[in-house]
Amino acid sequence: MLLIGLLITGVVLAAGLVWVDGVTAAMLPGRLLLPLSRMLAFVGIGLVVAQAIDDTGWTRKLGALAAPVFRFANLGTRCSAAFTAAFFSGVSANAMLLDFYKEKQITRRQLFLTNFINQFPAFFLHLPMTFFIVVPLTRTAGLLYFLLTFLATCVRTVLFVLFGRFFVAAQNPGPVGGDDVQAGNARGISKKKKPLMQSLKEKLPARFSRVMAFVVPVYTVVYVLTAAGAFDAVEIFMTRFAVQKFVPAQSLSVVVLSFASEFTAGFAAAGALMDAGTITVKQTVIALLLGNIIAFPIRAIRHQLPRYMGIFSPGMGLAMLLMGQGFRMASIVFVGLVYWFVG
């Protein structure tokens, strides 16, 4: 499988070098090889952490932190452990979920639902850095923007929990490992876990090889499409369409600069336009939310799709990512409409 993935990578890269002006041999080390190596390194670390959590018995301890909510949602302690791990590493959380699913400890519905709920801890991963960049530039509009996006995260998290409560069959209600240990004791079998290093030697090479088989070609395809301007064209088209339909034309530069071009420069432009009286705080907030809705899913596909397809199967990873972004967009549209009519 890895050889097939590398072969596809070579074909795509050769086509990019021949037909795409933005792809040159001189750019490959800095634009493709270094970012790809960095991504694979973080994925590898995430896989090691996930395996360590499972083998050292920390799954039950982590799962206990959010256990009441996940018990209410019929998702169990294993999914709760992945949720807690997501506050530190999304890759580790997804690797844990996949292991539980392969071992038939959780269902496919529980796997998807927990991944969607994990958008809540993901919201906080980059919050400190972005918050202290955005708020000084946009002040009130920035605070309202973060408040509304946080409320959107809370809304969809509550809905996911309620969906689990009413539409997911309760499984594995006991503590992680409890049923297995009791069953083993009943049969007179003492189940001992393998040492962590031995477990890593047995499982990690195959898992990482499988991840590389999908991450490398998908990342390369995304790189070539980006260099060809495909994602920028989609963002600009969607931005112009949405601005003409929903927000004043004066806000176009805020939307484009904020999300289709450069994050910090966009919020700086928003602050400048507000200070000049060109747009109101409310118009700026709506424009920023609109930019979030338009560009963030495209950025998610560009940056997260290789990891999702590498950790999960290509079909499952793509479906999970698209559904998660769809729910995220719907929740932001909802809070944005409420703010527009009530604020």
Q: Using H for helix, E for strand and C for coil, what is the string for 162-231? A: HHHHHHCCCCCCCCCCHHHHHHHHHCCCCCCCCCHHHHHHHHHHHHHHHHHHHHHHHHHHHHHHHHCCHH
Cβ(258)–Cβ(271) below 8 Å? no
Cβ(288)–Cβ(254) below 8 Å? yes
For 130-172, give the secondary structure using H, E and C.
HHHHHHHHHCHHHHHHHHHHHHHHHHHHHHHHHHHHHHCCCCC
Cα–Cα distance for residue pair 13/124, rounded to 1 Å = 35
pTM beyond 0.85, yes or no: no
Cβ(247)–Cβ(287) below 8 Å? yes
Domain boundaries, the chain: 28-169+196-342
DSSP 259-300: III-HHHHHHHHHHHHHTTSS-HHHHHHHHHHHHHHHHHHHH
Q: What pLDDT is attached to residue 297?
A: 76
At a CB cut-off of 8 Å and minimum separation 6, what does 214 contact?
5, 306, 309, 310, 314, 317
Cβ(223)–Cβ(32) below 8 Å? yes
Cα–Cα distance for residue pair 294/111, rounded to 1 Å = 27
Cα–Cα distance for residue pair 102/114, rounded to 1 Å = 15
Question: Token digits for 87?
Answer: 């506050």
For helices 90-102 and 281-311, what crossing angle results, to 10°? 50
Instruction: Tell me which amino acid residue 14 is.
Output: A
Question: Token digits for 107?
Answer: 């269902």
Cβ(175)–Cβ(60) below 8 Å? yes
Count the Cβ atoms, other than its own, within 10 Å of residue 27.
14
Cα–Cα distance for residue pair 115/308, rounded to 1 Å = 11
At a CB cut-off of 8 Å and minimum separation 6, what does 123 contact?
149, 150, 153
Q: What pLDDT is attached to residue 225?
A: 86
Query: What CA–CA distances, in Å, run from 13 to 85, 210, 216, 301?
Result: 35, 20, 11, 19
For helices 263-275 and 127-138, what crossing angle results, to 10°? 30
Q: What pLDDT is attached to residue 44?
A: 87
Q: pLDDT tens track of the chain, all 343 residues?
A: 678 888 988 999 899 888 888 888 888 988 889 988 988 898 888 888 888 877 776 666 776 778 899 999 999 999 999 999 998 889 999 999 999 999 999 999 999 999 999 999 999 887 877 787 778 878 888 899 999 999 999 999 999 999 999 999 876 444 444 434 333 443 333 345 567 677 778 778 887 888 888 888 888 988 888 888 887 777 667 666 655 555 555 555 555 555 555 556 667 767 777 776 777 888 888 878 877 787 777 777 878 899 999 999 889 999 999 999 999 999 999 999 999 898 6
Which residue, among 47, 333, 66, 54, has the nearest Cα to 205 in the 3D structure? Answer: 47
The helix/strand/coil state of 93 is helix
Q: What pLDDT is attached to residue 252?
A: 56
Cα–Cα distance for residue pair 265/102, rounded to 1 Å = 44
Which residue, among 228, 225, 297, 259, has the nearest Cα to 269 in the 3D structure? Answer: 259
Cα–Cα distance for residue pair 159/147, rounded to 1 Å = 18
For helices 76-85 and 108-117, what crossing angle results, to 10°? 30
